[in-house]
Amino acid sequence: MKSDKNGKVASLLRRFYFENKNNFVEEYLTRNLNTLLKKYPGIKFSVHSNFSSLNGNLLAVTVESSDSNISCFEDACKLFYEANKEFILSPVDITSNDILNMEYFISTLTDEEYDEKLKKKILKSFQDIFYILSLYSTSQIFISFNGGKDSTLALHLYSLCLKSKYPTSKISIDAFIHRTPEEFSEIEPFIDKVCPLYNIRKHVYNLSIKESLSEMKKEFPSIFPIIMGTRHMDPTGKYMKSSICETDSDWPKLLRVCPIFDWNYHEVWRVIKTLNIPYCCLYDEGYTSLGEKRSTAKNEELVKKENGNIIGYLPAYKLKNCESERVNRKIN
C-alpha cells in the first residue's frame, strides 16, 4: 500500500466513466453495483455526476478500498469492468466529444486550492454564457475573435454552451474579426483553420477598433452581447468592474461578456493544453501575448540557451511567472 503526503495509508482507487443516458443508472448500473456490493462488502462504489451545467451526462463510478487486500480490490475492478465494458467510455470516446472532455477534466480536479479555484472559474464561465443565452438569441450575439489564446478559449467555452443548449442543432457562431496592417502573418491562416471547426461566420473589419465596432452595429443593429477573451489583468480589463458590463458611453453600445475575466495565465494554458484546444503556432515560438508586429517580441523569459548562446525559445505555456505574460508587449 502507498502512503499519502501525510503518511497515512492511501486508498486503492480506480475510476470508470460512462455516459448516463436512457436511464442507464436506474435500469442497469444500480443493479450491477448492488450485486458487487454483496460480493465485496469491503469495497466502496460511489457514483459521481453533474460535473457542470453543460449536462453532458458524464458519469463516473469510483471503486475504492482502504483495505490492504490488493487482490480483492483487483478482482472487484475486473468483475465490474467485465459486467459493464460495453458501456465504459474509452479515452477516445471522451476526447472526441467536447462536452464529455470538459466534464472529464472537471472530474479530475482535486481538492487542492489551485484546482478548486480553477473549477469555480470554469463553472462561473459557463454561468455567464448561459445567462446571456437565456436573454438573447444566438443571432443577437457576436464573439470577438482575434486568434489569440484568450479569445480562442472564450470561443471554445461559448461553443460548449451552444452544444449543450442546442444539442440537436449545429448553431453558427458570428465572429467579429478586426484586422490591422501590422498583424502577424500567422494569424489569418489560424483563424481560417479554426472557423470550420467551430462553425464560424466571419465578419471582417479593417478600420480602427472603435470604427469597426460601429460598422458592425450598423450592419447588425440587433447585436448587443459580444463575447470577448478579455481578462482583468489586460490593459482594458483592469478598468472593467465585472465580467459582464456595457461599453462606455462614447463607444458603440454593446454588452461585453468576458467568460474568462477572472482567469490567470496558467489557468488559460492548462485548459487549452489539457482539452487540446487549437492555438496559434506563434505561441510555440516564444510569444506569450500577441499584438501588432511592431510592438510584440518574443518573451525573453522563455529563452533557451546552450553554452551561453540562444538556441531558441520555449513555448508560451512554459512561462513560470504569470506577471510576465505581457513583458514582450510595448505600450504605444
Task: Indicate the burial class of 181 (C-beta count within 10 angstroms; 0-12, 13-18, 19 or more).
Answer: exposed
Rounded CA gap, 74 and 62, in Å? Answer: 13
Residues 121 and 197 in one domain: yes
Does residue 247 carry a pLDDT above 90? Answer: yes
> What average pLDDT score do residues 277-292 get?
97
Local structure of 46: helix, strand or coil: strand
Which range of residues forms the domain containing residue 37?
Answer: 12-98
CATH number of the domain bearing residue 45: 3.30.70.260
User: Where is the domain boundary, 223, 242, 257?
Assistant: 257
- The Cα 237–Cα 209 span in angstroms is 16
119 with 244, same domain: the answer is yes
CATH of the domain at 223: 3.40.50.620
pLDDT digit string, tens, across residues 185-223: 999 999 999 999 999 999 999 999 999 999 999 999 999
Residue 242, SS3 per DSSP: coil
pLDDT of residue 79: 92
* Domain end position, chosen among 64, 98, 132: 98
Helix or strand holding residue 244 (H, E): strand 244-246
The pLDDT tens digits for 306-317 are 888 889 999 999
What value does the mean pLDDT of the chain take? 92
User: Are residues 226 and 141 in contact, defined by beta-carbon separation less than 8 angstroms?
Assistant: yes
- Is 131 contained in some domain? yes
Give the three-class secondary structure for 63.
strand
What is the count of structural domains for the chain?
A: 2
Task: Work out the percent of the chain whose per-residue pLDDT is above 90.
Answer: 75
| Three cell numbers, residue 205 | 473589419
pLDDT band of 253, cuts 50, 70, 90: very high
Q: Are residues 230 and 189 in the same domain?
A: yes
The pLDDT assigned to 71 comes to 83
Relative to beta strand 44-48, strand 58-65 is: antiparallel
**Residue given cell 487549452 in the structure block:** 272
Least confident of 13-27, 83-97, 216-230: 13-27
Task: Kindly report the number of other CB atoms within 10 A of residue 157's CB atom.
Answer: 23
Work out the average pLDDT over 254-263: 98
